[in-house]
Amino acid sequence: MSRLPLNILFVSLVCFSAGCASPMEFSKTIWGSSTRALEEARVNGIVKVYNAPTGRCYDEALKAVLESDFKVFLKNKTKATIVVMGIKGSVNTTEVGIFCAEVEDNKSKIYISSLSANAKRIVAEKIFPLIDAVLGSSDNQTVTVINEQ
């Protein structure tokens, strides 16, 4: 009996486990549901601070997205992450990430990030006013841009 199938299995396991990305992240990238690039783009994202816990910010962000004309590509309440597509004026596969993160008790940030500065701006201009109408904004600024290029 040939050892070829066992060798192929062994090499495959080594390749999947030896890289920087986990096998799960690798499979998400192949499938098209990885949010790693959007997470990394948060440093150049648009951010607002709200006096609300992260879960509430996520819920209001999701409501705002659903009220808009964007398409929800991914949503994960546990990770407080939403990915939208279908931004007018952008390629139909352009992704924009919406991330909620706790700053301190009952204070959270909502980040909007994308590899497309235009798509990021369009989403921020559409959903932040909808969230502001419900939660207000603790920083009293319409939009804060971090490291915008």
| pLDDT, greater one: 106 or 35 | 106
Give the pLDDT confidence score for residue 88 in this predicted structure.
Answer: 87
Contact 95, 114 (CB under 8 A): yes
Name the amino acid, one letter, at 54: T
| pLDDT, greater one: 24 or 16 | 16
Whether the model pTM is above 0.75: no
pLDDT digits (tens, 9 = 90+) for 59-102: 999 999 999 989 999 999 999 999 999 898 888 778 999 999 99
The sheet carrying 107-114 orders its strands as 71-76, 81-85, 96-104, 107-114, 46-50, 144-145
The whole-angstrom separation of Cα 139 and Cα 125 is 16
Give the pLDDT confidence score for residue 42 in this predicted structure.
Answer: 64
Other Cβ atoms closer than 10 A to 126: 19
The whole-angstrom separation of Cα 83 and Cα 137 is 22
The whole-angstrom separation of Cα 34 and Cα 18 is 19
pLDDT digits (tens, 9 = 90+) for 17-53: 545 544 444 433 334 446 777 777 667 889 999 999 9
